[in-house]
Chain A
Amino acid sequence: MSVAERTATRAALRPWGWAALAMAAWASLFAANELVWDRLFFDLLGWEGRVGSAVHFFLYDTGKILLLLTAVVFAAAVLRSFVSPERTRALLGGRREGLGNLAAAGLGVATPFCSCSAVPLFIGFVSAGVPLGITFSFLIASPMVNEVAVVLLWGTFGWRVAVAYLGFGLVIAVVAGWVVGRLGLERWVEPFVYQVQAAAAAEGERPSWGERFAIGRAEVRTILGRVWPFLIAAIAVGAAIHGWVPEDFFVRYAGPGNPFAVPVAVLLGIPLYSNAAGVIPLIEALAAKGLALGTVLAFTMAVVALSLPEMILLRRVLRPRLLGTFVGVVALGILGVGYLFNAIF
C-alpha cells in the first residue's frame, strides 16, 4: 500500500471511529440516566412525596427523551441521505394504483423533506405523471409516520404501541391515497400545476460517509434546537399531571367507555400544530391517568399528520373541495384507528 493509499484509507475510516466513540458515550449516558436520578432521589435524599416524584419524573424523562431523540434523528437523517425525491419520483412514475400507493407510502417515510417543501414536491410529482392518489399516499405517510413519534412511543408505551402506530399510519396513507385516487378529483387541482414544464432534476452527487454523518449531526442540531422548549414544557406539564391529577381522572371522563373521546381528540389535534416531541411526553402522563390508548394515538396522529400551516400551503395547489376531501379522508382514517385501538387494547 502506498502512502497516499494509506492516508486515504485512514481518512475514510475516521468518521467510523468517531461514530463508535459517540455510540459508547451515548450508551453510558443512557444507562446512567435512570441510575443517577433514582440514587439521588430515593436513596440519598429520600424524597418520595408528591413533589419528589414529579421532579424525579421531570429530570429522568427529560434525559431519556433527549437521548432517544438524538440517536433516532441522527440515524434517520443518515439513512435518508440515501434517498432523494428525484429517485422516489422516478420509482413512482407510471405505477398502478394499489401497489403504487403502498410503494408511495413506504417511500414517503424514507424520503426527507420538511413541510414547507410539500407544495414543490406535489407539483414535481403530479407534473411528472405520478397519479394524484399515489402522490397523496406519499404526502400523507411522510409526516404521519414520524421517526420521532415512533421512538417516543416506543420509549413510553413499549414496542407494541410503536409498531401499531407505524403500521396503522402506513395503512391510513395507503387507503386514504387510494380513496382520493378513486374519487377522480384531478379537476380540483389548480390548473397551473398541469401546465408546469418541470425540468428533469439533475441527480445529486453521492455523499461520502463522513458527509452523511455530518448531515445527521446537522439534523440533530436543527431538530433539537427547534423542539427543546416544547419538549421541556410538555414534560413539565406531564410531571405535574403525574404528581397531582388523580389516578382515575381520565377513566371517568375520557376512558374507553366514552364513545366521544376519540372524535374529540381528533378535532382537538387538527388545529394544534406541534411535533411529536411536544405531544408525546404530555400524552404519556394522560395515559398513565387512564386516558385510553386509542384516544391517545388518534390525538398524536391528528397533531402530526394534519396541520393547519401545511393545509394553507397546499391550498396554493389544491382547490378547497380537494383539500377538504383530503383532510376528511385522513381524519376518518385516524378516527377508525382510534376506535379499533380502544377495542383491541
Chain B
Amino acid sequence: MEIKILGGGCANCRALEAMAREAVAALGIEATVEEVTDYAAIASFGVMRTPALVIDGTVFLSGRVPQRDEVRRIIQGISG
C-alpha cells in the first residue's frame, strides 16, 4: 500500500502524517508513508485544500485533520 500525505509542511499536515504512520503500525500492514510537498504534484491529484490523504492514487480526505480512528478505518478498509 502506498500512502501519501499532501501538504505544504504545515502543522496540520504533520499531524495527519503522524496519524497515518500510527495507524499503519497499529494495524501491522505493509505500507509506505510519504509526504508530498511539491505544489504541482499536489495539484495533479486535484486537491485544493491541504492536508490530504491519498492511498494508492485515490484521494480519501482533503482539507481537514480527521479523527484518529477515521484514518485507521480508511486504511483498514482498503487493506481488506
Known: A117-B48, A201-B48. A124 touches B43 (CB 8 A): yes
9 contacts between A and B (CB under 8 A): A112-B49, A113-B48, A113-B63, A114-B10, A116-B13, A120-B39, A198-B46, A199-B43, A313-B8
Number of interface residues of A (CB under 8 A): 29
Main secondary structure of the interface of B (DSSP, over half): loop
Contacting A at CB under 8 A, from B52-72, are 59, 63-64
Residues on the A chain within 8 Å of B12, using CB = 114, 116
Contacts of A195 in B (CB 8 A): 40
Size of chain B's interface in residues, with CB distance under 8 A?
A: 19
Cβ contact within 8 Å between A197 and B48: no
- Whether the Cβ atoms of A201 and B47 lie closer than 8 Å is yes
User: Is B46's CB under 8 angstroms from A112's CB?
Assistant: no
Contact of A112 among B39, B40, B63 (CB under 8 A): B63
Query: Which residues 122-168 of A have a CB within 8 angstroms of B?
Result: 123-125, 127
Tell me if A174 counts as interface (CB < 8 A to partner B). Answer: no
Q: Would you list which residues of chain B between 35 and 53 have a CB under 8 Å from chain A?
A: 39-40, 42-50
Partner of B49, one of A120, A125, A202, A218: A120
A227: min CB distance to chain B, Å: 15
B-side contacts of A199, CB under 8 Å: 43-46
Residues of A within 8 Å of B8, CB to CB, are: 116, 119-120, 313
Interface positions of B (Cβ within 8 A of A): 7-8, 10, 12-13, 39-40, 42-50, 59, 63-64
- Name A284-313 residues within 8 Å CB distance of B: 313
Residue in chain B with minimal CB distance to A192: B40
How many residue pairs, one in A and one in B, have C-beta atoms under 8 Å apart?
70
9 further A-B contacts with Cβ under 8 Å, apart from A86-B48, A125-B48, A127-B43, are A116-B7, A117-B50, A119-B8, A120-B48, A121-B49, A124-B46, A198-B46, A200-B46, A202-B59
In Å, the complex CA distance between A125 and B46 comes to 11
Q: In the complex, are the beta carbons of B43 and A85 less than 8 A apart?
A: no
A317 part of interface (Cβ distance < 8 Å): yes
Q: Do B49 and A197 have beta carbons less than 8 Å apart? A: no
B40 contacts which chain A residues (CB < 8 A)?
123, 192, 195-196
Find out whether the CB atom of A316 lies under 8 angstroms from the CB atom of B63: no
Known contacts A86-B48, A114-B12, A201-B48; A120 and B43 CB within 8 A of each other:
yes
Tell whether A89 is near chain B: CB-to-CB under 8 Å.
yes
Cross-chain contact A120 with B42 (CB below 8 angstroms): yes
Q: Which residue of A lies closest to B51 (CB)?
A: A116
Q: Quote the shortest CB–CB distance from B60 to chain A (angstroms).
A: 10
**Cβ–Cβ < 8 Å partners of B42 in chain A:** 120, 123
Residue among B8, B43, B44, B50 with the highest chain A CB neighbour number at 10 A: B43
